[in-house]
Structure 1
């Protein structure tokens, strides 16, 4: 691979890792009405062909009537020399009959060339307000996002928490039988899951036990430039997979490991720390 294609491939991988480290949009399923409460504190490491290229963290707090989630990550090592970047993301919302309903989402990314922040306000799955700062220039090649594209969607952070309906074991093949519409402030896309296998994992600190591994398929809908290499690459992939682990005390599953093939080798994001605890329900005050 010549230097110029290599730089392009590394830049593309930088975009992929930034998305991975911010858990950019997976799934939020339907749910039952059972109340559940739990917390997660996780650290992740991103590798390329076995070499460390980034690190990230994720904190989730799910109460009986509200939730919050925050993530941060950045490239490091060899990748940082070619495609340095860091980012943060956060979501707040309500828990309504067991369903995670986002109300606010923010994300920011920083590279040597620019910094950018995104904010969104949601109401029952409809984007009521959103913006990008600084406002990006209009690109005639970008497919427009319509009002219809901003209805019935999830923000990326809330979408990364897979809510499994029913009363049985959430770690089952049925957890992967879902899909979702995601809007990230710029692009509208669909994601679909399919069951692949069950595994057992062990973090360096915290969780050890079963995970359900799902295949992930990405379909861009609007707000993207069709000729962009990273879009074409992701849409063509049939070997992206995510291993989901449970948040104790809830029916929520979150990524423990994500695997994406790249032209330079396998990119992987995997939890090194995955500490999850159930929290007792709040007791109503009595006179």
Structure 2
């Protein structure tokens, strides 16, 4: 008989994926807190996340492990995953501090410098057909960043948005023309978190912990541009510390709208027309 891939409850999933006894549970839902028997080391609280869409948990687990392998920024440890569930360390949150922000900037620079085999490279053991939030994200390797970014991170979502009626054909042409102006780069493929908005940056007493990656090989400025798009506590200190550790190429701020096209179009596909105008404005800002 094939192994069961989906448990009825978060507690069942945690027990099955970790091989440990559940001694308690807290809040339930898409994210549940479960306590596992830790033997002599004491009980341990974990987060149990329901994988949605199916297979997203496998992609997220692979991304977390790949990012953690760089030994730079902190990420929750993966205790187990299957197509339906993901079991992770529980992160105890604290207030943001400027010192933690500066440390995070340096750590993020080191994470990016850990590199990737190519632009669009999936994490080892991670699927090519991955996800960013609830939107599909296909990892297709490429050597030329401008071409790869246009073909696999911008234009697919333009097509989805046009099909959904959230972007007009005239607006689509504006974005398509911007794709033709993406500049060449000498940047090597960076190891990206890939969905680095403020909600995925958790602050703890030990510093920043990143969650919910859409990890892949890409341009390092893309992670920074997403922080700029949705804001982040002490962002100026994060960027300054990053730039000190790994100087950004001239014109970095002028390129931010280009890198924001991808998340803006993903949000257009997921949440509708309210983001379409921002995506078109970002395209027009490229000149």
Query: Do these two structures clear the TM 0.5 threshold for a shared fold by scoring above it?
Result: no
Higher-Rg member (1/2): 2
Give the TM-score range, shorter chain.
under 0.3
Give 1 or 2: higher helix fraction: 2
Give 1 or 2: higher strand fraction: 1
TM-score, normalized by length of structure 2? 0.24
